[in-house]
Chain A
Amino acid sequence: MTTPGAPSATTPAMTPAMTAAPTAPLSAGTTPSTGRLQARFAALRAAGRAGLVTYLMAGDPDRETGQAVLDGLPAAGADIIELGMPFSDPMADGPTIQAAGQRALKAGQTLKDTLAMLARFRETDTETPVVLMGYYNPIYSYGADRFAADAAAAGADGCIIVDLPPEEAPELTGPLAEHGLHLIMLTAPTTDEARLPAVLAHAGGFLYYASITGITGTRAADEAQVAAAVTRLRAHTSLPIAVGFGIRTPAQAAAIARNADAAVVGSALVDRIATGDDPLGFVAALAEGVRGARL
């Protein structure tokens, strides 16, 4: 924990709102670290642009295809990668990501395979942050300590666990912290000011704002709503803010990138992977949108 008043290497003055947050809890998320996520967000800030976060489901539609897409993402323009860990009962996901998980499981994908996929990615890319995203049961089944150790060894930078709200997060934050992994917390439009500090108390890496109340891959919030939400969040945290849910086009990604530190695209890319419709070309178009957003 950083103490109030202590200099923080990861809190450069990005916006006035961020420095004017005396009541913000100084959490694990503001602990100085030299991880890939911090380095990437620092580089994005230096370049004066937002990042593109792309999601794909590990093992979808099969191991080799999934690996090829993953390996090609950085060159196509993804700044950060979310690697989905398939689960049989993804209760916060829409039809696209449900189907992707089912395809991966049907092809035999296990958690071990997902970590192996990441390790193989790291053989050629040591700089692009990769965040493992999924549900808690496969991790609990694997063992939280063993998972944290193996994920770190495979080259992960953090985790997003959809069904682990701050109330239940402590059972995973310990093991993750021990192995230098961030727990990236989700906030939603329903997360009010009173509740936000509890979410931020566990948050590391960046903050993921789910811009709509709903499941993944359905509708998108409009630019003004997102701008207001990001401003509100910045008053409470110095963590970078990524915004996701319902972003399907380069134009939508650009609109998000004007306000947030990163735009997350998931279902739209998963659709392209499912149909084999040039997923990396789609990522390149999204990247172009994000990179041009603040010009």
Chain B
Amino acid sequence: MTSALNTYRAGADERGHFGLFGGRYVAETLMPLILEVEQAYRAARADPAFQAELDGYLTHYVGRPSPLYHARRLTEHLGGAKIYFKREDLNHTGAHKVNSCMGQILLAQRMGKRRIIAETGAGQHGVATATVCALFGLQCVIYMGQTDIERQAPNVFRMKLLGAEVKPVTSGSATLKDAMNDALRDWVTNVEDTYYLIGTVAGPHPFPTMVRDFQSVIGEETRTQCLAQEGRLPDSIVACIGGGSNAMGIFHPFLDEPGVRLIGTEAAGDGVDTDRHAASMTGGRPGVLHGNRTYLLQTEDGQITEAHSISAGLDYPGVGPEHAWLKDSGRVQYVPVTDRAALDAFQMTTRLEGIIPALESAHAVAHAMELAPTLPADHLMVINMSGRGDKDVNTVAEALGADMGETLV
């Protein structure tokens, strides 16, 4: 990044690029809309009234700040680094997704848009979007792959209760990437009245930057809380990566703190040496999809392949472009975590801390479980507990071969 020699926090550049990555690779029909979003976002950022309104909703509706919680028993069990959880699972709707939804829904209203569309994989972003649409009385259409609808039935019903229309997507592999394709097709068709509320730090510029900015509240709070509770910054931060919005949110305020080690965990599914994983940075290569250049899972011929993860929220063949840039620059380390390791971490967190983590967040815990025992007791490690795992109990039961009616042993 030419304009950012001494900082990792200046991106994207004015054309939406993070070095090689990012950009605006969309059909011409959408370009004017995307420029309109960018302009509106820039104006909102400069308007103290916008930030004040957002802060009000984050405090009184979402329930921020979320606690920075010392996971004492997990720390003792692992016998190394002192572990904290950043409790995004305690937000209204049960995950970090609502931070960006709240920001974007206020922006959409400033732009005069009354119809909101979104894509969802696990359903968390769909639920958060349907929630803010209900809050402001806006029409809401959620695109969700048919495969995901079948495995996330409770969230589908939740969205419907909130008044959203859930449109099943049957094209392609009928998962998150196809839901995003159909949302883009909707947007290109309904350009006048519709706002596309993208759920992660991906898509065309300005979405990766805007979603990151709205999610940075996680990292800003972590900084303040860690200073208050420990008198210093953390030594390491671990967060899971699907598109990467919770990780970008907690990492970004620390990018220029060389003493803070940042680790992103990608979903390795059955293993990155198999063809069933979602680790686009470990197992993919740069390409262009959904409006940006980033690391993608693809064939030799440039066709996008299906991702696999036990966690529907990480089941995406790409990653946000800023992560791609942070990987290449070496500032953030990205490691793969398998379904198996995430399942173990899911159970351990539940048993030791009484916190059922989202399967997504369990990928971060899994790596921390490996790393913490190798570190000294005065090493402060923060894990971003990006969401709660109630939505995942059916999936976990199935994976463990347990009957939900029986007691687990």
> Residues on A close to B: CB < 8 A?
86-92, 94-95, 98, 102, 105, 110-112, 135-142, 162-165, 167-168, 185-192, 195, 199, 210, 213-215, 218
Complex contacts, B172 vs chain A, CB 8 Å: 88-89, 98, 102
* Interface of chain A: mostly helix, strand, loop or mixed: loop
Complex contacts, B158 vs chain A, CB 8 Å: none
* Contact status of A163 and B171, CB under 8 A, knowing A138-B301, A185-B28: no
Nearest 10 CB-CB pairings of A with B: A141-B302, A138-B302, A188-B29, A214-B189, A92-B27, A88-B303, A186-B28, A91-B184, A190-B32, A163-B25
CB distance from B307 to the nearest CB of A (A): 12
CB distance from B24 to the nearest CB of A (A): 5
CB distance from B196 to the nearest CB of A (A): 12
Complex contacts, A164 vs chain B, CB 8 Å: 25
18 contacts between A and B (CB under 8 A): A88-B172, A88-B303, A88-B305, A89-B304, A91-B27, A91-B180, A105-B303, A165-B26, A167-B15, A186-B28, A187-B28, A188-B28, A190-B33, A190-B191, A210-B28, A213-B188, A214-B188, A214-B189
Complex contacts, A195 vs chain B, CB 8 Å: 31-32
CA distance A98 to B185 in the complex (A): 12
CA distance A168 to B181 in the complex (A): 20
* Chain B: interface size category: 35 or more
* Contact status of A136 and B28, CB under 8 A, knowing A91-B184, A92-B188, A111-B302: no
B343 at the interface (CB under 8 A from A): no
| Cβ-closest chain B residue relative to A95 | B171
> Residues on B close to A: CB < 8 A?
15, 23-33, 171-172, 177-178, 180-181, 184-185, 188-191, 286-291, 293, 296, 298, 300-305
CA distance A265 to B300 in the complex (A): 31
- A136's partner among B184, B189, B288, B305 (CB-CB below 8 A) is B288
* Contact status of A213 and B31, CB under 8 A, knowing A111-B301, A136-B25, A138-B302: no
Contact B29 A163 (CB under 8 A): no
CA distance A102 to B173 in the complex (A): 11
Complex contacts, A87 vs chain B, CB 8 Å: 302-303
Contact B29 A190 (CB under 8 A): yes
CB distance from A262 to the nearest CB of B (A): 18
Complex contacts, A89 vs chain B, CB 8 Å: 172, 177-178, 181, 289-290, 304
* Interface of chain B: mostly helix, strand, loop or mixed: mixed
Total A-B residue contacts, Cβ distance less than 8 Å = 121
| Cβ-closest chain B residue relative to A109 | B301
Contact A165 B289 (CB under 8 A): no
CB distance from A29 to the nearest CB of B (A): 15
Contact B188 A215 (CB under 8 A): yes
Complex contacts, B287 vs chain A, CB 8 Å: 137, 140-141
Contact A167 B23 (CB under 8 A): yes
| Cβ-closest chain A residue relative to B15 | A167
| Cβ-closest chain A residue relative to B26 | A163
* Contact status of A165 and B24, CB under 8 A, knowing A89-B304, A141-B302, A191-B32: yes
Contact A137 B288 (CB under 8 A): yes
Contact B298 A141 (CB under 8 A): yes
Question: Could you say which of B29, B33, B300 has the most chain A C-beta atoms within 10 Å of its C-beta?
Answer: B29
- A215's partner among B24, B177, B185, B298 (CB-CB below 8 A) is B185
Complex contacts, A92 vs chain B, CB 8 Å: 27, 29, 184-185, 188
CA distance A226 to B26 in the complex (A): 23
Contact A186 B303 (CB under 8 A): no
Complex contacts, A167 vs chain B, CB 8 Å: 15, 23-24, 31
Complex contacts, B189 vs chain A, CB 8 Å: 213-215, 218
CB distance from A251 to the nearest CB of B (A): 24
Other A-B pairs, 19, CB within 8 Å; known A89-B181, A98-B172, A165-B28 = A87-B302, A92-B185, A95-B171, A98-B171, A112-B301, A136-B288, A137-B304, A138-B301, A140-B286, A142-B302, A163-B25, A163-B288, A165-B25, A165-B26, A165-B27, A167-B31, A186-B29, A215-B185, A218-B189
